[in-house]
Amino acid sequence: MKLLIVEDELKTAEYLQKGLAEQGCAVDVAHNGIDGQHLALVHDYDVIVLDAMLPGIDGFTLLRALRAVKQTPVIMLTARDSIEDRVRGLHDGADDYLVKPFSFLELLARLQALQRRGRAQEPAQLKIANLQIDLIARKAWRGAERIDLSAKEFALLAVLARHQGEILSKTAIAELVWDMNFDSNTNVVEVAIKRLRAKVDNAFAPKLLHTIRGMGYVMEARADEEPAP
Amino acid sequence: MKPSITTRLVVMFALGALATFVLIGTALYGVLDRELLRHQNDDLNTNLQNMRYSIERFGDLEHWARLQTKMDTLTPADGSVRFWVLSDDPRFLYGKGLDEMERVNQGEAGHGLLSLSLSGRTYRTLSMRLAAFNGRPPVRLIVGVDTASYEHTLRAFLLALTLLSLGAVVLVMVLGWWIARIGLRPLQRLSAQARALHPKTLSQRLREDRLPVELEGLTIAFNGALGRLENAYRQLEGFNADVAHELRTPLANLIGGTQVALSRPRSAGEFQETLQSNLEELERLRSIVNDMLFLARADQGEAATGLTPANVAHEVKMTIEFFEPLLDETGTTVAVEGERGAQAMMNVALFRRALSNLLQNAIEHSAAGARLVVTITRRAGVTWIAVANPGPTIAPDHLPRLFDRFYRVDTSRHDTGETHGHGLGLAIVKAVATMHGGATLARSDAGITTIAFSIAG
C-alpha cells in the first residue's frame, strides 16, 4: 500500500512513517500543506493521511484541491472532536476521520478498512490453522471437534478471525461485536476473551488467540507455536 | 448621563409639590375671587340703598340740588365710587359720561360691568328704577364701584401665590435631595461593603443585619451568588488537584519504569516488557484526556446530536448484553422493569455509554451473585433509567457529589487498581443526561443504591 502522510508535528509524522513502513506500506511524508498538496497531486497514493491543521495550506483546503482532481481515499486527523470539523471534513470529501489523540492501532484498522472497501464478498468459511469457522451456519470446529459457542461468543470469534493477523483494541472489539461505540472503562472484553479462549484455545494446539499487552488481541497462527508433539 | 436615584427622587418630589401647590393655589384664588365679588356687591348695595332712600323721599328741585351735593360728597376724590341718575327730564340728570350710561341697557335692579372711556376705568355697577314723586319724574339710579383695587388685590395675590409656590418647590427639592441622600445611605454602605470584597477571601459575604427590608432581598440574592461562585471555584480548585493527581500516577509509572529499564543493559524482552507497561499507562492517560475533553464539551453546553427515536428497553437490553461475560463471571443477574414500550429521542452511543457506566458501577459495588434492577419510567415527557444494586448504603451527604469528577466516596480506595475507570464514570453519566436535556439522581437506603439519569423526549 502506498501512503502519503501530511502532518506538521514531526514526532507524530515520524512514528506514523515508521509504524506504517513496518506494516509493509510505502510511506511518503510531507510536513506542510504546500508540499503535501504537491505530492498528493503528482503521485497516485492508495490512501492519504491528512492533518486538518497544517502550516501553508490547511487540510480542508488541500482536500478540496485534491478532490477537484482525483478521488484518492483520505483519512483526516483532527485535533478537536468537534462536530463542525467532522462535518466539514466529510463534506469536503474525506473518507474517514480520526480524532487526536488516536491510537496507532485505530489508524491501522481504518487504513485496512479503506483498503478492503470494494473488495470481493467475504468468504463463507474462514480457516486459521486447524480452526474452521462457517460464517453462514455460525459453527466452529477445532480440527474435527465442534466448539460450542453462544451467539456473542461466535460473533467475537468471527470478528477476530476476519481480522486475522490484525491487532484489535478492546474498544474496536466492543464496537465490532456489541456495537458499543465508545471508550468503555470496563473489563468486559477481557472477560469475554478469557471465556472464548477457554473454549477455543485452552484444550487445543496451536494457540491462536494472543494478547498483545497494552494494545489488544490478535488471532493468528504463529510460527513459533507449531503444534506441540 | 447615568440615571441617579437621588435625581429621580428630587424631580419626583418637585413635581409632586408643584402639583399640590397648583391645586391649592387655584382653589384659594377661586375663593378669593368669589369673596371679593361678594364684597363689591355689598358695597354697591349699601351705596344704592343709601341714595335710594334720599331720592325717594323728596321730589322737588330744591332737594334735588342738595342730593346732588350729597352724591358729590359721597363720590371719593379718586373716583372709586360713582353715582349716576338717568332721567327723561334733563334737570334730574346726574353724573359724568351719561351718554355712555344711556347705552348700558341694564335690567331692573341688575348688576353689570361697564368700561368708562372718559377715565379708562372699569366699574361694577348696580342700578335701580325709582318711581316718580311730587314734581320728580321716574329716574334710574346707578351706583358704580371701580374694580381696579379688587383686580389689583387679585393680581397681587396671584403673584404672591406663584412666587411662594415656586419657592416652596425649590425648598422641597433641596429637602428632597437631603432626604434621598439620607435614605440611600444604607445603599452606599452596601456598595462600600461590596467594594471591599476581596477576590482572595471567597468566604466573605455582605452583612445582612442592619439593612432595611428593601435591600434584604438584593443582599441575600447577592450573597447566594457569592456562595455559588465560591462553590464553583472550590470545585475547580479541587478538580485541578484531582486531575493532577490522576495524571501523576501513570506519569510516575512511566518515568520510573523507563528510568529503571534504561539504567542498565537489558535484553530486548525486558525492554519489550517496559514498553508494554508504558503503553498501558499511556492508554490510561489517553482515556482520561478523552473523557475530560468529552466532559468539557458537555460543560460548554454542547447538546447531543444525531438524535434518533429508539426503544429505551431495547437499548437497555443491548447494553446489558455487552456486560453478559462479566455478569456470567460474577454470577450477577440484571432484571429490566418498568415501561418496556417507552420510546425516546437519543444519541444511541451516548445513551449506551451512560448506561454501561452505571452497570459497571453497580457490578463493581455489589457482591458476586447480586441481583441488579434496571427500571425505566416515563413521566412528564422525561424518561428515567435507574440502576439499583444491593450494596453498602452511601451516606446522604455523599449522594449529591457522586456525579462530581473524580469524586470517590471512599477516599482510601484510591489507586488500588481494583476499580476500572478513573472516577469520571458518573460525571460522564451526568454529562450525557445534560446533553439530552435530562438530570441525574442518586438514592441509597436499606442496602440498595439507586443511580438514575434521565433524557428529555
Among the partner-chain residues B293, B302, B356, the one whose CB lies closest to the CB of A184 is B356
At residue A218, the pLDDT reads: 93
Residue B277's CATH number = 1.10.287.130
- Pair (B324, B414) in one structural domain: yes
Closest residue in A to B354 (Cα–Cα): A184
- CB contact at 8 A, A38 and A62: no
Q: Cα separation of A73 and A28, whole Å?
A: 15
Q: Which residues of chain B neighbour A103 with C-beta distances below 8 Å? A: 283, 286
Residue B31's CATH number = 3.30.450.20
Residue B325's CATH number = 3.30.565.10
Closest residue in A to B320 (Cα–Cα): A178
At residue B412, the pLDDT reads: 47
Q: Cα separation of A197 and A45, whole Å?
A: 39
Q: Which residues of chain B neighbour A186 with C-beta distances below 8 Å? A: 323, 326, 356, 360, 420-421
Cis check: omega of the bond before A101, within 30 degrees of 0: yes
Residues of chain A with CATH 1.10.10.10: 125-225
- Pair (B145, B20) in one structural domain: yes
Q: Which residues of chain A neighbour B329 with C-beta distances below 8 Å? A: 191, 195
Q: Which three cell numbers stand for residue A211?
A: 494478547
Residues of chain A with CATH 3.40.50.2300: 2-116
At residue A171, the pLDDT reads: 87
Chain B: give the shortest CA distance to residue A192, in Å.
5
- The answer to whether the Cβ–Cβ distance between A183 and B356 falls below 8 Å is no
- Tell me which fold the domain A125-225 belongs to: Arc Repressor Mutant, subunit A (1.10.10)
Question: To the nearest 10°, the Cα dihedral for B410, B415, B417, B419?
Answer: 30
Q: Which three cell numbers stand for residue B246?
A: 490522576
Q: Is the ipTM of this complex over 0.90?
A: no
* Beta strand spans in B210-346 (E): 308-311, 333-338, 343-346
**Within a 10 A sphere around the Cβ of A154, how many other Cβ atoms?**
19
Among the partner-chain residues B318, B323, B421, the one whose CB lies closest to the CB of A188 is B323
List pLDDT tens digits, range A140-175: 999 889 999 988 899 999 999 988 888 898 888 998
Among the partner-chain residues A83, A188, A213, the one whose CB lies closest to the CB of B322 is A188
List pLDDT tens digits, range A26-79: 899 999 999 999 999 988 888 999 998 888 888 888 988 888 888 888 998 887
| Interface-testing mutation among B330, B346, B356, with chain A (most A C-beta atoms within 10 A) | B356
- CB contact at 8 A, B158 and B29: yes
- Give the list of residues 6+ apart from residue B36 with CB closer than 8 angstroms, or none: B150, B153, B154
Phi-psi region of B406 (alpha: psi -120 to 50; beta: other; left: phi over 0): left
Q: How many Cα neighbours within 13 Å face the side chain of B118? A: 9
Q: What is the mean pLDDT of residues A77-91?
A: 68
Q: Cα separation of B149 and A37, whole Å?
A: 108
Q: Which of B236, B267, B299 is the last residue of a domain?
A: B299
- Residue A98 in contact with partner chain B when CB distance is under 8 A: no
Q: Which residues of chain A neighbour B299 with C-beta distances below 8 Å? A: none
Chain B: give the shortest CA distance to residue A171, in Å.
11
- Residue B36 in contact with partner chain A when CB distance is under 8 A: no
Task: Using DSSP, state whether B310 is helix, strand or coil.
Answer: strand
Q: Is the pLDDT of residue A108 over 50?
A: yes
- The answer to whether the Cβ–Cβ distance between A180 and B360 falls below 8 Å is no
At residue B413, the pLDDT reads: 43
Residues of chain B whose pLDDT is less than 70? 1, 97, 99-119, 409-421, 457
- Residue B325 in contact with partner chain A when CB distance is under 8 A: yes
- Pair (B37, B127) in one structural domain: yes
Q: How many Cα neighbours within 13 Å face the side chain of B198? A: 4
Q: How many Cα neighbours within 13 Å face the side chain of B271? A: 7
Q: Which residues of chain B neighbour A191 with C-beta distances below 8 Å? A: 325-326, 329
- Pair (B36, B144) in one structural domain: yes
Q: What phi and psi values does residue A7 have, to the nearest 5 degrees?
A: -155, 125
- CB contact at 8 A, B399 and B454: no
- The answer to whether the Cβ–Cβ distance between A186 and B352 falls below 8 Å is no
- The answer to whether the Cβ–Cβ distance between B353 and A178 falls below 8 Å is no
Q: Cα separation of B335 and B341, whole Å?
A: 16
Q: Is B375 exposed, middle or buried (0-12, 13-18, 19+ CB in 10 A)?
A: middle
Q: Which of B107, B127, B155 is the last residue of a domain?
A: B155
Say which residue, A187 or B109, is predicted with more confidence.
A187
Cell 513502513 belongs to which residue? Answer: A21
- Pair (B287, B328) in one structural domain: no
**3-state DSSP of chain A:** CEEEEECCCHHHHHHHHHHHHHCCCEEEEECCHHHHHHHHHHCCCCEEEEECCCCCCCHHHHHHHHHCCCCCCEEEEECCCCHHHHHHHHHCCCCEEEECCCCHHHHHHHHHHHHHCCCCCCCCEEEECCEEEECCCCEEEECCEEECCCHHHHHHHHHHHHCCCCCECHHHHHHHHHCCCCCCCCCHHHHHHHHHHHHHCCCCCCCCEEEECCCEEEECCCHHHCCCC
**Within a 10 A sphere around the Cβ of B225, how many other Cβ atoms?**
10
Q: How many domains does chain B have?
A: 3
Q: Cα separation of B190 and B177, whole Å?
A: 20
- Residue B283 in contact with partner chain A when CB distance is under 8 A: yes
Of the candidates B256, B241, B234, the one whose C-alpha atom is nearest the C-alpha of residue B423 is B241
Return the amino acid letter for B431. Answer: A
DSSP output for B191-237? HHHHHH--SS-TT-----TT--HHHHHHHHHHHHHHHHHHHHHHHHH
Of the candidates B117, B114, B94, B120, the one whose C-alpha atom is nearest the C-alpha of residue B44 is B114
At residue A225, the pLDDT reads: 54
- Pair (B225, B124) in one structural domain: no
| Interface-testing mutation among A15, A184, A212, with chain B (most B C-beta atoms within 10 A) | A184
Among the partner-chain residues A174, A186, A214, the one whose CB lies closest to the CB of B326 is A186
- The answer to whether the Cβ–Cβ distance between B322 and A174 falls below 8 Å is yes
> What percent of chain B stands above pLDDT 90?
29
At residue B414, the pLDDT reads: 44
Rg value, chain B, Cα: 52
At residue B112, the pLDDT reads: 66
At residue B143, the pLDDT reads: 86
Going by the DSSP 8-state scheme, the letter that residue B138 receives in this structure is P
Q: Is the dihedral of CA B149, B151, B152, B153 positive or negative?
A: positive
Among the partner-chain residues B275, B318, B420, the one whose CB lies closest to the CB of A187 is B420
- Pair (B16, B132) in one structural domain: yes
- Domain with B390 in it: 308-456
| Mean pLDDT of the residues in chain A | 85
Going by the DSSP 8-state scheme, the letter that residue B146 receives in this structure is E
At residue B418, the pLDDT reads: 44
Closest residue in B to A101 (Cα–Cα): B286
| H/E stretch holding B45 | helix B5-57
Q: Which residues of chain A neighbour B293 with C-beta distances below 8 Å? A: 81
Among the partner-chain residues B289, B297, B360, the one whose CB lies closest to the CB of A186 is B360
Q: Which residues of chain B neighbour A213 with C-beta distances below 8 Å? A: 276-277, 279-280
- Pair (B110, B231) in one structural domain: no
- Residue A79 in contact with partner chain B when CB distance is under 8 A: no
At residue A49, the pLDDT reads: 92
Q: Cα separation of B454 and B313, whole Å?
A: 14
**Within a 10 A sphere around the Cβ of B361, how many other Cβ atoms?**
23
Q: May I ask the CATH class of domain A2-116?
A: alpha beta
Q: Which of B299, B324, B348 is the last residue of a domain?
A: B299
Going by the DSSP 8-state scheme, the letter that residue B135 receives in this structure is T
Among the partner-chain residues B275, B280, B356, the one whose CB lies closest to the CB of A180 is B356
Provide the pairing of β-strand A139-142 with A145-147.
antiparallel
Q: What is the mean pLDDT of residues A170-195?
A: 86
**Within a 10 A sphere around the Cβ of B453, how many other Cβ atoms?**
28
Task: Give the bridge partners for A74, in sequence order.
Answer: A48
Chain A: give the shortest CA distance to residue B218, in Å.
40
Chain A: give the shortest CA distance to residue B280, in Å.
5
- Give the list of residues 6+ apart from residue B138 with CB closer than 8 angstroms, or none: B87, B129, B130, B131, B132
Q: Which residues of chain A neighbour B303 with C-beta distances below 8 Å? A: none
Q: What phi and psi values does residue A12 have, to the nearest 5 degrees?
A: -60, -50
Q: Which residues of chain A neighbour B290 with C-beta distances below 8 Å? A: 101, 183
- Residue A185 in contact with partner chain B when CB distance is under 8 A: yes
Q: Which residues of chain A neighbour B291 with C-beta distances below 8 Å? A: 183
Closest residue in B to A100 (Cα–Cα): B290
- Residue B360 in contact with partner chain A when CB distance is under 8 A: yes
- Residue B328 in contact with partner chain A when CB distance is under 8 A: yes
